[in-house]
Structure 1
């Protein structure tokens, strides 16, 4: 038995209780429908980024979940569209007791889940190329003459992936890695995320961002890759075993 199958066997109940949610872009009705239809309600909802709200706080969005599904908790990472504007960033992070997973490992009912939000931006870092900025602070605070007439740095810099974040995570251990950006098995993915997953010794990873689900293709290289990579499509839902709770929608 390989380490992935052993992980699934040892944590099966907990993994079925964790739902990973693909990009929602402000649409939440399908989540309510899935919760109502589920015989066994999930213990965790984990958003994989691009929640994409700018006029209402995430805390307010989640209020019906807290009211009607009191045993279900929420965790999330940010996506690129969660930093389209400063309002997007602020509304997402006005999140009440939802857990922001980015840059840390969090225990979700005995399953260690690591989070890396955002996307690779060429002007910041596009592996394997050399990074222009090691971290967000250096990207957003470049001296007193960088931002004139009271301007702010481009909000998209909040969502860039920085080398310091990846390096810090690589020193930790986790069971599952959630990213918005795709690993190298996706046609537009990045090998740097495969390297991160292997460094953390994860059994499985989940990603969103591209709105498609190429998980069947990913399976062909699972043993060589060393971990089980899964995609979750636009408005799709999978549990921690990679089983489909709701197939994604086409387009958006």
Structure 2
């Protein structure tokens, strides 16, 4: 059997289920939902998939900045595979990505006033002393952050599927701000990771379906 898109829940260094699924059937694409925990470049971990001509895309998770090498083995390997705040079309379906999490350094969505410290990365960089910058840019501990500018950017897309690391409010630990991201790009389905839980749901007061994925779990959408 072939076709469709494979979404892969947070690998955390475990790639065997994904590689096996792609051997058994040839999907139109693979989308990885963050927290890769890469001890070597992503392209090496998924080499059999890429060599088979199957497109690979990824969004980042909060653990992808835990170590500088994990960061580099993701962002520094195949930047064209990064789906964050952009879109790709597979089999006639438009897939949009929103990587990262709500980092209190940037956007404390649990605060009573949902405090936004910075609207954009440029704003944060201007406010960051040179001694606190990492490689001349944002601090490493801020590289997992969702900024308001990311959600605003989604408005330019008309998506079928939104992939996120954070969960929408269909999950007990999710956020209505992810609901707003789905509305911004007009997605019909949200697929997310982060909480290591397989479930199906709906964003409240909408007809947007939600699929949460457990750790190293394959979800086939045909």
What TM-score does the superposition give when structure 2 sets the normalisation length?
A: 0.87
**Which structure 2 residues correspond to residues 1-252 of structure 1 after superposition, within 5 A?**
17-36=4-23, 38=24, 40-53=25-38, 55-67=39-51, 70-96=52-78, 99-127=81-109, 129-144=114-129, 147=132, 153-215=138-200, 218-219=201-202, 224-240=205-221
| Counterpart contact for 1:198–1:226, Cα < 8 Å | no
Where does structure 2 lack aligned partners over 5 or more consecutive residues?
none
| Counterpart contact for 1:103–1:169, Cα < 8 Å | yes
Where does structure 1 lack aligned partners over 5 or more consecutive residues?
1-12, 242-252
Change (3 A) 1:195 1:45: same
Distance in 1, matches of 2:140 and 2:83, equals 20
| Counterpart contact for 2:22–2:49, Cα < 8 Å | no
- The number of residues matched between the two structures is 218
C-alpha root-mean-square deviation of aligned residues, in Å? 2.5
Distance in 2, matches of 1:151 and 1:76, equals 25
Moved over 4 A (4+): 143-146, 150-153
Distance in 2, matches of 1:178 and 1:143, equals 30
Change (3 A) 1:98 1:145: closer
Change (3 A) 1:74 1:152: closer
Distance in 2, matches of 1:180 and 1:64, equals 25
Distance in 2, matches of 1:34 and 1:172, equals 29
| Counterpart contact for 2:31–2:56, Cα < 8 Å | yes
**SS of residue matched to 1:159:** coil
Change (3 A) 1:110 1:146: same
What TM-score does the superposition give when structure 1 sets the normalisation length?
A: 0.78
Change (3 A) 1:42 1:86: same
Change (3 A) 1:47 1:145: closer
